[in-house]
Amino acid sequence: MAILPIITYPDPFLKEKTNPVTDINDDIKKLIADMADTMYEAPGVGLAANQVGMDKSIIVFDPEADKENRPYQVLINPEIISQEGEYLSENEGCLSVPDFRSDVKRAEFAVVTGLDLQGNPVKIEAQGLLSVILQHEIDHLNGILFIDRISSLKRSIYKRKIKKQLRDNE
């Protein structure tokens, strides 16, 4: 069991696009297990590899945040191949954006492809909360945070707050 440090805004690494995994080797499997530990400990419903400082296209998620049974899923090199409809994700938050929540406009349905831990192709047709989690985590892999998807006014309020915190901690 290893809990990894989660990097937070405004760390520029969160804005970088991740690279695809080409070989699901033991290092990758260890990283995935550690990501799951980190997600359940946080606790969160999803985590992307670049949130723990790894330049890899990997997400783990569990909409139930069921720390006891840990029925998490992993997707390697996930991609949204289609999305449809509108869904207001209420009070969305992110482990990399502490102490801030906002409503975010998302798609209601998303079809996501990727690989499982064994390298087998997976296709998930997601709706509602699961769809939002997948959109949020895949955004991470593309260097996008949920605060990039809210109004610029709300975003600037958050950015000012963070700048003040950083100044106060100097």
Closest distance to Ni ion from the beta carbon of 137 (Å): 7
User: Is 170 in the active site?
Assistant: no
Contact 123, 82 (CB under 8 A): no
Q: Which residue carries 């990894």 as its tokens?
A: 4
Q: What angle do CA 73, 61, 138 make, to 5 degrees?
A: 110
Contact 13, 50 (CB under 8 A): yes
Strand-pair partners of 82? 111
Task: Kindly tell me which of 94 and 134 has the beta carbon lying closer to Ni ion.
Answer: 94
Task: Kindly tell me which of 24 and 139 has the beta carbon lying closer to Ni ion.
Answer: 139
Nearest residue to Ni ion on Cβ basis:
94
Task: Kindly tell me which of 94 and 126 has the beta carbon lying closer to Ni ion.
Answer: 94
Residue 58, interface with Ni ion (CB under 5 A)? no
Q: Which residues contact 103 (CB under 8 A, 6 or more apart)?
A: 88, 89, 90, 91, 92, 150
Closest distance to Ni ion from the beta carbon of 95 (Å): 6
Closest distance to Ni ion from the beta carbon of 25 (Å): 26
Closest distance to Ni ion from the beta carbon of 14 (Å): 9
Catalytic residue among 41, 64, 86, 137: 137
CA distance 60 to 30: 13
Q: Is 80 helix (H, G, I), strand (E, B) or coil?
A: strand
Task: Kindly tell me which of 60 and 94 has the beta carbon lying closer to Ni ion.
Answer: 94
Residue 94, interface with Ni ion (CB under 5 A)? yes
Residues marked as catalytic: 137
Residues that bind Ni ion (CB under 5 A): 94
